[in-house]
Amino acid sequence: MKKIEVVLSDYNPNWVIIFNMIRPTYTLKKEPFIQKVITQAKNEGYEKN
């Protein structure tokens, strides 16, 4: 399974979201940042299952 780890450095460098096929195993309540990571992941070739 593909996994992507992204640090949201523009918000808080200590917060990391690990995506597994764009399904976060840990989520933040800040939806715009979730969307930003999903967009970045898609740009890197990860597709939603």
HSE (CB half, 13 Å, CA atoms) of 35?
Answer: 3
- Average the pLDDT over 9-34 and give the result: 51
Question: pTM for the complete prediction?
Answer: 0.28
Does residue 18 sit in helix, strand or coil? strand
Does residue 30 sit in helix, strand or coil? coil
pLDDT for 23: 53
User: Which DSSP state fits 21?
Assistant: T
pLDDT tens per residue, range 25-41: 445 455 566 667 767 77
Q: What is the mean pLDDT of the chain?
A: 57
Q: What share of the chain is helix, strand, coil (3-state, %, to 5)?
A: 25, 25, 50
